[in-house]
Structure 1
Amino acid sequence: MNKINNPKREDWTTVLKRPTQTVADIEGLVNGIFREVAADGDSILKKYTKQFDKVYLENLLVSDAEIEEAKNSVSQELKTAIQLAKANIETFHKAQKTGRIEVETAPGVSCWQEKRPIQKVGLYIPGGTAPLFSTILMLAVPAAIAGCSEIVLCSPPDKEGKLNPAILYTANLCGVTKIIKVGGIQAIAGMTFGTKSIPRVYKIFGPGNQYVTVAKQIATKHGVAIDMPAGPSELLVVADDTADAAFVASDLLSQAEHGVDSQVILVSTSKKMIDAVEKEVEAQLEELPRKEIARKAIANSKLIYVEDDQTAIDLINEYGPEHYIVCVANEDFYIEHTQNAGSVFIGNYTPESAGDYASGTNHTLPTNGYAKQYSGVNLDSFMKSMTFQKITSEGIQNIGNAVELMAEAEGLQAHKNAVTLRLNSLE
């Protein structure tokens, strides 16, 4: 890992740079695939599945027989773990429900707000070296609680043309309505435009590599909403001498093993802790099955020493981490002053892995600094707020003249007339 001591504030942008390509680097490829999918649908999905996933599929849809086979091949122990995680995620997300909000803004003027589910949502679940069936829990559970009527899932197949059994088991458990074996840019394009196999959706959710992230951003140009820009995983840990160096190293490596373009950062006011964590990272790294992936991510990662807590929190807010672990004596200071983070994990016994799987919070979070303006996925992500109003004859008399004056001042005579006619009818 790269050690950096007391970086100057003017250098923070460079020090905290993510190891990701820009939209401009990938946009041309994405737009090309989007145009092809919009024009020729499933045939293009099959073409790119063969090119990128090394398998040709005549039928992209997962069959009932495949789901039954998956149920039988997932161990009971894993099923129990998935069910426990599902229950905790349901508990946390059900608690986020809010009812109708109603107020009389003036006598005879009633206004209220209600939430309605987004009818059609698309879930993107990465496959490849780490089939993230846990992400299905994080997306399909709140979608079901919200009442989304169509929940479409896309995930890339393996070289045998299959999806991981745990993905199929979890999707079926959580009420996914259609599962399609397609990944990457072409999956996002399919959900954007709709094909014979993939229904067009109104909003796309889920993490992915840089290509998927850019594809989601391009989808917004075609009338589809997205959860957030969620790209390669990242973690920042702030730790002092009260932290356990082995724990900190394990957390850094837990994110580094996601992919070669992941990034992990330790910020500390203790050089002793930085040295101890560095040694632990090297020792633990050798024991990991995915050590080659983690090693490449570690090469992009940083150990940053700063002299005081205020500098540390300023730097953390500048970075805006996706995952953020606080292991310090003065944890209240950091919690109170954290402005930009996707999800926060507090104390020595709160590993980031708990939030990834089973504590109940959502692990689909803004990356690449987008925590400065985006929230992580929550129940409201699958809903939209609608406002209603009802005005009585008394109400229109109370606010009508103000509306007339304002409309006339803006030069919108028809707006004024809509009120004037009603007021005149009451004379």
Structure 2
Amino acid sequence: MKCDSLFIYSKDYLNYKFSDDHPFNHIRVQLTQDLLTEINALASEEMIAPRMATDQEIALIHDPAYIEAVKKASKGELPSTTAANYGLGTEDTPIFANMHEASALIVGGTLTAVDAVMTGKSTHALNIGGGLHHGFRGKASGFCIYNDSSIAIEYMKQKYNAKVLYVDTDAHHGDGVQWAFYDDPNVCTLSIHETGRYLFPGTGNLNEKGHGKGYGFSFNIPIDAFTEDESFQEVYEASFRKVIEFFKPDVILTQNGADAHYYDPLTHLSVSMATYEFIPKLAHELAHEYCNGKWIAVGGGGYDVWRVVPRAWSRIWLEMKGLTISGSLPKTWLERWQAHSPLELPAHWHDQKNLYDPIPRKQEITEKNKLTVERALYQIVN
């Protein structure tokens, strides 16, 4: 039986854990799944377990020597000097037991989502455990070991001969995915992120447009720090609509980092939950307009794991299902998780008004972001 949408989930996603005090905490995946279940928006038949990605699948993007290094690190058998050459054992990406298996399961989850959509088992699929967009061919980076999105795109190209549009709304530039397909005209990447002037990874500039045959298929919208809802949504909609009209993909893969929110401790943007309702709404609309609905969504960043991420990622699934919700979060969910949260959980789906003090440079930031979009899209608009 065909389901309209499928939710890829396993409690084993929690095994992707660097340490107790590391900002990347996949309890946010469990929090989201539990919230959706609590409001009766996620049925058991809509959930599907991820499979483990094979070494051959991971090697679609990653160097075999790097995969072997990750395996050795998983067992505590990789010397620290060697680990550093692969970006492992760093402050951002510490080594943890069974890191290969935990990472391969996340990749397999995104491939499970891909197969569900590309074979027609479902129209949409969501793997919030994925979205690890900083991983490189031979190096871990920015909390990411294997780059599930890059692997999924190459997998779609080879298995389904698909033309893929990748749209990344994480506050950090989707560098790993961009560079993986920088010379490929069959993959178009659009990243809307906080400018790298002061934020990791420092890339995603306007002049990063692709190389060789891939020139003109990489789009970057580096927005100003303290960008608010109206400007973020304006930038996102203008760029997404123009890029998809230009590229006309077979399928859309969206990376849904939830770290542009005002509460996020690692970034400097100022959006609210209104933007996390808007982001999947537009993706859904355009997937049906251009791709017969084929839409695969993954998670990504988001470091206010208690107050922001569960609400933001729930919005993706609710949009896929055509459900709307507002008002109070379920009391049972709040009571269950408040005991674990170091912060007071929000009582409502939407943020309260006056979430933060007025930003004095709002008009200047808005105008600067508009100009950035115009410059980024100049080659396809003119």
TM-score, with structure 1 as normaliser: 0.25
Q: Which has the larger radius of gyration?
A: 1
Higher relative contact order (CA 8 A, sep 6+): 1
Higher strand share: 1
